[in-house]
């Protein structure tokens, strides 16, 4: 099956900083998604982005399908951005191991 | 209205018991899924149903049996619970296989 690698595994930011999270796939996918799991355990859809670029407020994502990777940008981070960010894709929806983000006030 | 709901939210039980977790979606989606999230937060797909038919069945013990009475419901029955079954179980749905997924709130199962 498809392998999904996320980097970095852990990230600590000061409030207001920007960051980029990366997701690499071992094979092409046509249904890449980004999720945020908040400290209460809820999995929240961020982007469904098989290709191209999307923006939603301070968050944006870019997927380059031909090169099998996707990037999630967080700008002006806030403490409420803390949690684990997952990417997933493929017919059997393989998840990466996640990036654990901590934003300090 | 909750799009994907699961009951119960918490489940604490003894080893050897049989338990069920229910999932319902009111989005009109054709495909539903069960995932297991372990203590290290790793999410792994267990089953997927499309229009009540099983399409993904990962390597899980046969003590786990999904049941889909209709395309809005996908329940998970677990026999002879073991300590290692303790985890958070998430249900999800999507319009069809491979499209955007929406997750339920999760069920935290603790086996004592």
pLDDT tens digits for range A2-43:
899 999 999 999 999 999 999 999 998 889 999 999 999 999
Under 8 Å between Cβ of B107 and B36: no
Helix count and strand count (H, E) for chain A: 0, 11
Query: Of the candidates B43, B98, B101, which has its C-beta nearest A91's C-beta?
Result: B98
SS3 label, residue A54 = strand
Numbered residues of chain B with Cβ closer than 8 Å to any chain A Cβ: 33, 35, 41-45, 48, 56, 58, 88, 90, 97-103, 105-106, 108
- Rg (Cα) of chain A, in Å, rounded? 13
Half-sphere exposure of A45 toward its Cβ, with a 13 Å CA cutoff? 17
**How close A43 comes to chain B (CA, Å)?**
6
How much is the mean pLDDT over chain B?
Answer: 92
Find out whether the peptide bond into B8 is cis, omega within 30 degrees of 0.
Answer: yes
Under 8 Å between Cβ of A100 and A12: no
Q: Which residues of A touch B108 (CB under 8 A)?
A: 41
Please state, in angstroms and rounded to a whole number, the distance separating the CA atoms of residues B32 and B24.
9
Q: Which chain B residue has the Cα nearest residue A90?
A: B98
- DSSP structure class, residue A67: G
What percent of chain A stands above pLDDT 70? 100
Q: What pLDDT was estimated at residue B53? A: 83
3-state helix, strand, coil in chain A (%, to 5): 5, 55, 40
Q: Which residues contact A69 (CB under 8 A, 6 or more apart)?
A: A22, A23, A24, A25, A63
Stretch A73-88: mean pLDDT: 97
Confidence of residue B1 (pLDDT cuts 50, 70, 90): low
């Amino acid at each position: 099956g498809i392998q999904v690698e996320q980097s970095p595994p852990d990230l600590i930011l000061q409030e207001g900083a920007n960051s980029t999270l990366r997701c690499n796939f071992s094979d092409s996918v046509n249904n890449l998604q980004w999720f945020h799991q908040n400290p209460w355990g809820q999995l929240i859809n961020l982007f469904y982005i098989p290709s191209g670029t999307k923006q939603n407020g301070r968050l944006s994502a870019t997927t380059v399908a031909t090169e099998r990777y996707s990037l999630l940008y967080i700008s002006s981070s806030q403490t409420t951005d803390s949690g684990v960010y997952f990417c997933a894709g493929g017919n059997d929806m393989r998840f990466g191991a996640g990036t654990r983000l901590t934003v300090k006030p | 209205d909750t799009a994907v709901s699961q009951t119960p939210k918490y489940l604490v039980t003894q080893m050897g018991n049989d338990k069920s977790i229910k999932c319902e979606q009111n989005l009109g989606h054709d495909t539903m899924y069960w995932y297991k999230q372990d203590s290290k937060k790793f999410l792994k797909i267990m089953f997927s149903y499309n229009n009540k038919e099983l399409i993904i069945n990962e390597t899980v013990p046969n003590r786990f049996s999904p049941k889909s009475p209709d395309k809005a419901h996908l329940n998970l029955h677990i026999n002879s619970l073991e300590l290692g079954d303790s985890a958070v179980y998430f249900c999800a749905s999507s319009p069809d296989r491979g499209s955007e997924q929406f997750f339920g709130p999760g069920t935290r199962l603790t086996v004592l």
